[in-house]
């Protein structure tokens, strides 16, 4: 049986594919709704600011009576502050004996090409948006960027519209970082979790004309989670608006440094 048809017949895959189609069809409509909502909420925000001033100014200049709590008149922050991982993203990794140390939850995201190869060199692809990683449409084979070990391999119930393959780099500037290939990909038949792979080794093939295409990027080393999600850079609202994450941009820059086509920053 054709691999693409076989995969599409599985209920979890079909459900994920429908969600992916709906996301792509609704992306532009979501952006338009977001712009309308922001225009409608702007007057409310101005009214709230005036009300806050009316409460605080008498206390500041009159000096009489009980002072209102700032927490009572200030809106809660829209988003949490940077996590420790965001700090790790921006600084050089710790050094020990001249070699970088990495645990399973930090990655320097270096975009140097030294020791790595273009994972798309045996594929013919069209770059699409940058989100958690980089989306592509096309056909051909996907290779390992560098030497590493397979850490995750799943073809169903991945939370993605398709498969999820992940490996951890064991050499090069991004040693210790995880790389994933997801959605319309089929793992090489010999591939197993725990297996070591070399730079340029073919580890997956692209399913031609797959509904959601493929996505490649930095993984988190936690199930099928991406590094962007681990750092809190991605959520469903940002996905609907096609807002590129910092880790997605980093991976796109690495692909470009390796001679491949970078993704497109569509939203945000």
C-alpha–C-alpha distance, residues 117 and 127, integer Å: 18
Q: What pTM, to 2 d.p., does this model score?
A: 0.65
Sign of the alpha-carbon dihedral angle for 223, 226, 232, 238: negative
Which residues lie closer than 8 Å to 55 by C-beta, 6 or more apart?
68, 73
Which of 81, 79, 212, 62 minimizes the C-alpha distance to 135? 212
Q: What are 140-149's pLDDT values in tens digits?
A: 999 999 999 9
Give pLDDT, residue 23. 54
Residue 123 has pLDDT above 70, yes or no: yes
CB count, 10 Å around CB of 32? 9
pLDDT tens per residue across span 159-203:
999 999 999 999 999 999 999 999 999 999 999 999 999 999 999
pLDDT at 66 over 70: no
123-257 under CATH 2.70.70.10, yes or no:
yes
Q: Angle at the Cα of 149 (from 145 to 155), degrees rounded to 5?
A: 90
- DSSP structure string for 120-169: TTTEEEEEEEESSSEEEEEEEEEE-SSSEEEEEEESSSSSSSSEEEEEEE
Each domain of the chain, given as residue ranges in start order, spans 123-257
For residues 234 and 116, what is the distance between their CA atoms, to the nearest angstrom? 27
């Amino acid at each position: 049986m054709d691999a693409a048809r076989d995969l599409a017949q599985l209920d979890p895959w079909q459900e994920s594919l429908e969600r992916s189609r709906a996301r792509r069809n609704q992306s532009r409509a979501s952006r338009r709704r977001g712009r309308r909502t922001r225009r409608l909420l702007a007057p409310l925000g101005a009214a709230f600011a005036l009300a806050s001033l009316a409460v605080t100014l008498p206390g500041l200049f009159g000096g009489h009576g009980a002072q209102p709590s700032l927490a009572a008149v200030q809106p809660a922050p829209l988003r949490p502050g940077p996590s420790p991982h965001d700090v790790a993203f921006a600084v050089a990794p710790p050094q020990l004996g001249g070699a970088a140390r990495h645990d399973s939850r930090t990655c320097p995201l270096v975009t140097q090409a030294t020791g790595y190869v273009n994972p798309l060199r045996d594929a013919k692809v069209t770059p699409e948006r940058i989100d958690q990683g980089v989306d592509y449409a096309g056909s051909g084979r996907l290779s390992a960027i560098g030497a590493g070990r397979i850490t995750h391999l799943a073809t169903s119930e991945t939370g993605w519209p398709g498969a999820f393959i992940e490996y951890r780099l064991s050499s090069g500037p991004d040693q210790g970082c995880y790389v994933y290939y997801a959605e319309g990909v089929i793992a090489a038949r010999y591939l197993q979790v725990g297996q070591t792979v070399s730079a340029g080794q073919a580890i997956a093939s692209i399913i031609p004309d797959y509904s959601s295409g493929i996505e490649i990027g930095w993984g988190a080393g936690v199930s099928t989670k991406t590094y962007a999600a681990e750092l809190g850079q991605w959520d469903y609202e940002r996905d609907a608006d096609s807002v590129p994450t910092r880790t997605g941009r980093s991976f796109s820059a690495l692909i470009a440094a390796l001679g491949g086509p970078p993704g497109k920053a569509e939203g945000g």
